[in-house]
Homo-oligomer: A and B are copies of this chain.
């Protein structure tokens, strides 16, 4: 789970697309590998390596935790997976190609809000203008006060 170095996003629509990407990269489609991919396709929000290894809390085939971590890293290098840090807990993994999402975390009520990356276009433009940075919020979310908590 590295911070620097970013992998080009490799969008895959379904398991078959992911399998193709794995093959194309010269990787093998092992059981844990498939299990990790199936878990990621079975959820619509970022999940921890532990949840993935547990088969999304029992709904899917469980896998060894170490294998989950290794495959998540491998798939992240491939560009198929990415991970985000929400708070101080474990990193949360998701498919990189999913409709680009970015996260907002309220530091008071701890609520996590996911929004479409497009919604932050103006903010990104402002950051680009004043700092030269091309910012994104899908790895470290935006922290602050949500509307409700800010109103007090």
Q: Which residues of A contact B (CB under 8 A)?
A: 1-6, 85, 87-88, 104-110, 113, 115, 119-120, 122-123, 125-127, 129-137, 139-147, 150
- A123 pairs with B113, CB closer than 8 A: no
Supposing A6-B108, A87-B3, A108-B6 touch, asked if A134 and B130 sit within 8 A by C-beta, the answer is: no
**A122: contacting residue among B4, B126, B135, CB under 8 A:** B126
CA distance A81 to B1 in the complex (A): 28
- A2 pairs with B88, CB closer than 8 A: yes
**A4: contacting residue among B3, B107, B134, CB under 8 A:** B107
**A150: contacting residue among B107, B113, B134, CB under 8 A:** B134
